Chains A and B, each alone.
Chain A
């Protein structure tokens, strides 16, 4: 042992060597966690000794990107710091398990891989014969490391539920406004904001490895304001905390918009150029004035403004946002002559907006939001005059009217010119650079020449798509290709699960319950759904298939649907489970879903296999998870599980003489050579070869620096992306990656005047779809959350991600359990609790019209009176009776999510679709016994 300068002999003894020896190792590897941790991307050093992982420590290898901005070190949180503990913890599963008792009883016997996979392969072929391939449902759980286990869905073309509805991390308001929901800056860009509004987010819990940029932005002279119902943990480091009545955020944003417009301090040129606010709307029918109404043969999606310089109606250019030579009117009322010679009154959206905002005076909004009107005025002026960023998570999108909240926030940013430049904008999730992985089985052979050919083919296809319209932008081409992939059954056949839930999981009754619905709906949910499917808005998305197809196989890899499902496990266990002949859980641990599965397949842990951490745009790094030790016992890397399963599916089909099947999209799909197709004829079967190919191909695709391969990544641990690639949300950043700059999205729009991929090709605040007009939601507006959960209940449950776990996966880690209460709990305001006679730590019952659960009460004055917060993730089996938070959430869907025939409101994977709501659920809290 090479000791440093030790002068005091008293620390030379055997007692001290005991400690010194504990901190030794024989191997160091780079590692991370290829899990659904977003933004993730932490690079760790994994220290092992005698073939066992002993601990991990953040590698802290990030180099500064832009001068004058703090570096990203040392990325990694407490979950990561004890991940090694999960490798050897009692909930680890290391042998294939077959259920021998009733589902959920937890009685299993250990079986061989061969037996387990054969049974699953047979069940899949049974399902294809019985109900068709659409009866094999994979759940799109975004744990990156687990995705290869379900490669069969990609190779066979069986459907995967779209994760954006499964886990609801969608920002519908961003999508409505920009045609994309995931413009996302890198985290170091937060440092540059002069004003940060932490709104619908709690980064102190959820961005532990990144939070420092907010604290540092403040030390750099920026101001931080939190807006939340409760005094959230993230408020502790804010300059101002603005408490707000639950679910009223749109009213606050709109009142700020009113203040800004009334004071004339909006950014006029930004508004004219970047937004639809100058576009003309007909007063007779509230619809945009359209080209085919003005001139025979003109486009339906040509829109107009009034040029005040020329004093004429003029088409708003579709190919650029530049307003060179024109001054589009924002106010006034004008006459437009239609092609039949008649005239109609038209006015800019801005003029309508100004009238619409009359109802949002700071005084009125102050009453709605329970905020002092002066606070609204002051904050509005700050937003209008400073580089402002809305730090938001995926909380707003989980509100029933979260679309309206986000549209109102986007309006606030648009009026103040706060996007498309450093230190501004908002936030969502975005991943990128998976091209090498996704294209691996699609290119014509192994090797980088095949990759070059593949990319050439893709570029040619994109040119073809673009040839239909010379004004198409890169974003538009990318999105059209994704939409076509849905139609053709590509992209692993991703489907919006709402229709499956409605027809096969018992949700019809619940969604038709008027108590859960918005009072502005003129018809039942079912009638809206029928109209949407009858009109073919979701034809490519299995909207009708599940009217008849009964699911037979459910395949969950790396996820825990019985914890996650909005609407609760009861819906699934009652309605879906009895139809299923085979339920599979691939996991390294026994989750609640595992306990209700027919087979549990043991996956290797994250230091036992090759992978990469969430390739998030928040950090822009490709981060290696290396194999530090061999998989424990019989556990296998997910990739190996996936390929072995393909072999068994292939064998089962061969036994029955089945060579192929035709799916409901009419595509003939081969059941032969499945494993070979996934592995390029076996060449890429080996995990190391596959990873090396992924990296080398990524270099070919321009995503990673030239020369990248497994060896270079093992030296460096991580490497910064060089370009967006085609797979993921790179191009929808609409900005260029610069090697020495932080990334801020939408700069192609603000700097290069490239149009947006919305119906009107501008940031769109006015949605003239008939359903939106009927709901009086053409413009962003405020609506109260519906009575989902039940009218006349005392509390609203808000919730959010917890501090201690990524979903449920760390909540059974004994180290982590000891850092909180070690049992599920609900935060309750101390005075509310006193009125109900509830003590701190007492078990209580939480009740809604969807169900009930038992949980321990935790009292705090930080919780808003009338609010309850259950930070989510607790395993159902941590609760008495196993009912958890999701079981009191009705899982209701806003009917406007069913719109599918309007510009950007069209399905493509991980994007616009019907999404359940689980925030502001109305509940009661009762003493037990």
Chain B
């Protein structure tokens, strides 16, 4: 695959879906840090959490194409519109609060998508009562090892940074073609209409440069997020992805070798028709998990269940202890610096 520079090291993220509560603290932290108040960024949520099964954001992104074709050429899929990303809502605050109209006016959306939001189908999920099922899937740019966006960029603005493998865009070079957004199979590239440039998660590079973890990881109250170099054997990321192989990439079949990994979700035992428990059954269909995480998901689930069972039998489990995360700073890898220590000159 063409002109992607090899990075020396690769930073990776892991999200433990058995701890993620869909609270959106990562999303909000990211938005406040990078987008809030920025012109042209109303619909931009570089970090999002969606309920799966569900259409997510942009709506039905998994059907929009991108990635690579069989010959390894970047494929330009559908370009998601702001309407499909959803949200970007502003409201008639002044009319309601200061307009003097009383009950005749109520708080309504005055701008943004008419039909969708970044988390529109929150907690809807799939299945049928009482065996409904859902879980939360946090998503950011995958900072892929073989990023189709980089390959598709006609102006050479996108690059993969040498020192950490972040996929970044030199915005001064971006011509606004949006081929990157078409080529991204995860549909995590947004277009800034005001500045006429594409934008996506920058991996919090200004923080990384100061030894501080990305906001989505450091601010995760669920302690579900991990960051670190994949080749750093001391990092939890390495241990979960490489050693225990319980953290898997999303949609590996899209071929871009993503660097955000997920510990797949366990789920409560389903109920039989008569209301008794089907102890060995699966509430979330394994085929659905395979659709998301590939066929390695079954092995990962087996490892999780085996180690959980070991703990329940009073035996030790290194894996369970990693996921418990006794000391929070261990999820930050080498990026454990407290940002409050920094004094800017």
Say whether A associates with B: yes
Cα of A299 to Cα of B87 in the assembled complex, Å: 69
Chain B residues, CB < 8 A from A204:
21-23
Q: Counting CB contacts under 8 A, is A471 at the interface?
A: no
Q: List 6 A-B contacts (CB under 8 A).
A: A15-B170, A73-B328, A74-B219, A211-B221, A860-B132, A877-B107
Contact (A208, B221) CB under 8 Å given A11-B205, A90-B93, A221-B312: yes
Chain A residues, CB < 8 A from B288:
none
Is the pair B268, A226 in contact by a Cβ cutoff of 8 Å? Answer: yes
**A841, chain B: closest CB distance, angstroms:** 8
Chain B residues, CB < 8 A from A818:
45, 87-89, 112, 117-118
Q: Which residue of A lies closest to B93 (CB)?
A: A90
Chain A residues, CB < 8 A from B123:
233, 827, 860, 862
Is the pair B25, A81 in contact by a Cβ cutoff of 8 Å? Answer: yes
Q: Counting CB contacts under 8 A, is B90 at the interface?
A: yes
Q: Counting CB contacts under 8 A, is A523 at the interface?
A: no
Report the interface size class on chain B. Answer: 35 or more
Q: Which residues of B contact A (CB under 8 A)?
A: 8, 18-19, 21-25, 27-29, 31-34, 36, 45, 87-91, 93-94, 96-103, 106-109, 112, 117-120, 122-130, 132-136, 159, 161-163, 168-172, 202, 205-211, 215, 218-224, 265-269, 271, 274-277, 308, 311-314, 320-321, 323-329, 338-340, 344-345
Q: Which chain A residues in 349-406 approach chain B with CB under 8 Å? A: 366, 370-372, 374-375
Q: How many residues of A contact B (CB 8 A)?
A: 116
Is the pair A14, B172 in contact by a Cβ cutoff of 8 Å? Answer: yes
Chain B residues, CB < 8 A from A881:
103, 106
Chain A residues, CB < 8 A from B161:
8, 10-11
Q: Which residues of A contact B (CB under 8 A)?
A: 1-8, 10-11, 13-16, 18-20, 22-26, 28, 45, 55, 57-60, 64, 68-71, 73-78, 81-82, 84-85, 89-91, 101-102, 104-108, 204, 208-209, 211-212, 215-216, 218-221, 223, 226, 231, 233, 235-241, 243, 366, 370-372, 374-375, 590, 595, 803, 812, 814-823, 827, 829, 831, 840, 858-865, 875, 877-882
**B199, chain A: closest CB distance, angstroms:** 10
Chain A residues, CB < 8 A from B308:
218-219, 221
Interface residues of B, dominant DSSP: loop
Chain B residues, CB < 8 A from A45:
339-340
Is the pair B221, A209 in contact by a Cβ cutoff of 8 Å? Answer: yes
Cα of A797 to Cα of B100 in the assembled complex, Å: 33
Q: Which residue of B lies closest to A20 (CB)?
A: B206
**B187, chain A: closest CB distance, angstroms:** 18
B126 interface neighbour in A19, A68, A236, A861, Cβ under 8 Å? A861
B24 interface neighbour in A55, A209, A590, A819, Cβ under 8 Å? A819
Cα of A632 to Cα of B129 in the assembled complex, Å: 50
Is the pair B106, A28 in contact by a Cβ cutoff of 8 Å? Answer: no
Chain B residues, CB < 8 A from A219:
18, 308, 311, 320-321, 323-324
Is the pair B275, A77 in contact by a Cβ cutoff of 8 Å? Answer: no
Chain A residues, CB < 8 A from B97:
90-91, 106, 590, 595, 877
Cα of A372 to Cα of B100 in the assembled complex, Å: 56
Is the pair A220, B268 in contact by a Cβ cutoff of 8 Å? Answer: no
Contact (A212, B271) CB under 8 Å given A26-B344, A860-B132: no
Is the pair B103, A882 in contact by a Cβ cutoff of 8 Å? Answer: yes
Q: Which residue of A lies closest to B269 (CB)?
A: A240
Q: Which residue of B lies closest to A70 (CB)?
A: B326
Contact (A233, B219) CB under 8 Å given A817-B91, A829-B129, A875-B107: no
Chain B residues, CB < 8 A from A815:
28, 31-32, 36
Is the pair A10, B311 in contact by a Cβ cutoff of 8 Å? Answer: no
Is the pair A863, B129 in contact by a Cβ cutoff of 8 Å? Answer: yes
Is the pair B269, A239 in contact by a Cβ cutoff of 8 Å? Answer: yes
Chain A CB count within 10 A is highest, among B127, B171, B209, B269, for B209
B207 interface neighbour in A23, A239, A840, A875, Cβ under 8 Å? A23
Is the pair B87, A822 in contact by a Cβ cutoff of 8 Å? Answer: yes
Is the pair A819, B18 in contact by a Cβ cutoff of 8 Å? Answer: no
Chain A residues, CB < 8 A from B325:
70, 212, 216
Cα of A208 to Cα of B29 in the assembled complex, Å: 14
Chain A residues, CB < 8 A from B32:
55, 81-82, 84-85, 815
Q: Which residue of A lies closest to B108 (CB)?
A: A823
